Amino acid sequence: MFALPWVAIFLAVPATWLSAIQWLSLGLLILGYGAALANGQLGFQAAIPVALVFLAAYAVRPNRKAHVRYIGHALFIALAIALSMHWLPGFHNPLVIGPERFTSDAVPFTMYLNLDKPLIGFWLLLVLPWIRPRYELRKSLIAGIGGLLIAAVTCLTGAVLLGLVTWAPKWPSVSGLWLLNNLLLVTVTEEALFRGYLQGGLSRLLKQRSYADALALCAAAALFGLAHIAGGWQWMVLGGLAGIGYGLAYRFGGLQAAVLAHFGLNVLHFFLLTYPMLQPAGQS
């Protein structure tokens, strides 16, 4: 849980403070990963992707030549894919939950405190301040709740109709740990990547076009759905639908709103419905 205080601080501060708090954030991040190294949760092989992350950050700085920035972004995208898929060596993510069935008809659930995937979100929040556009708190709250309602109606209703989940209210003993991990290490990372970087980046690239925002939103939602393909076509479609809700929240309320919509949907799923999904018929 070494990274949780860092993420909480970074999300809580106003955007106008970012330049002042970046060094503190980076210091906390280095201390956290240093503690993970001392505890054996990081191997020395992890030094290679960490070094490449710093190299990508150096390359994308605004004062670099255009071709250097393009190389830096390409390097980051490659690292983001590898880190999210847990392909890179040296990260010994501790198992903290499971395998555990939260209800008798559910697929067993396992949860790791990942050290690799959150690097994506940390990099984005520290290196690219434009992924976090400034919005008034009230506007962000309204946009986040609106995006949550859209995502819940389309995604959760669809999951019930497809027979993937059913009504199953519960409060597992590991709820607190799940909430912290899902908010600060899962949701923030995914929203920083898909909404802040992909949707926000495409909007910036196409800003002269009248369709820029709509295309960026749909493209990011489609890629978000594709990221769920391991669960089958049903979860891919549902992920894309949820991504529309998150994208609308980001468009009208910024990154905080997208995080609120995404985390809110995950909370509804976890506490009110089968989690993570119903055990397929014929399997035990």
Predicted confidence (pLDDT) per residue in 105-149, tens digit? 999 999 999 999 999 999 998 899 899 999 999 999 999 999 999
Q: Is the preceding omega at residue 99 within 30 degrees of 0, hence cis?
A: yes
Report the pLDDT value the prediction gives residue 21, as an integer from 0 to 100: 58
Please give the radius of gyration of the chain, using alpha carbons only, rounded to the nearest integer.
19
Please spell the DSSP secondary structure of 91-107, one letter per residue: B-PPEEEEEE-SSTTBP
- In the predicted structure, residue 4 carries a pLDDT above the cut 60: no
pLDDT(179) > 70: yes
Report the percent of the chain where pLDDT is more than 70: 90
CA–CA separation, 174 and 167 (whole Å) = 20
Domain ranges of the chain: 4-42+91-272
Q: Give the model's pLDDT for residue 19.
A: 58
Predicted structure pTM score: 0.90
| Among 2-11, 83-92, 226-235, the least confident range | 2-11
Q: What is the pLDDT of residue 59?
A: 96
Mean pLDDT of the chain: 90
Question: pLDDT tens digits for 35-92?
Answer: 888 888 999 899 999 899 999 999 999 899 999 999 999 999 999 999 999 999 999 9
**Secondary element (H or E) of residue 176:** helix 175-181
Q: For the chain, give percent helix, strand, coil, nearest 5.
A: 70, 5, 25
For 99, half-sphere exposure in the C-beta direction (CA atoms, 13 angstrom radius) is 4
Lowest mean pLDDT of 4-8, 26-30, 80-84, 159-163, name the range: 4-8
Is residue 163 within 8 Å of 278, Cβ to Cβ? yes
Q: pLDDT value at position 20?
A: 55
pLDDT score for 37? 85
Among positive and negative, which fits the CA dihedral 149, 154, 155, 159?
Answer: positive
Beta-bridged to residue 109, according to DSSP, are 100
pLDDT band of 284, cuts 50, 70, 90: low
Q: Rounded to whole angstroms, how far apart are CA atoms 244 and 207?
A: 20
**pLDDT, position 126:** 87
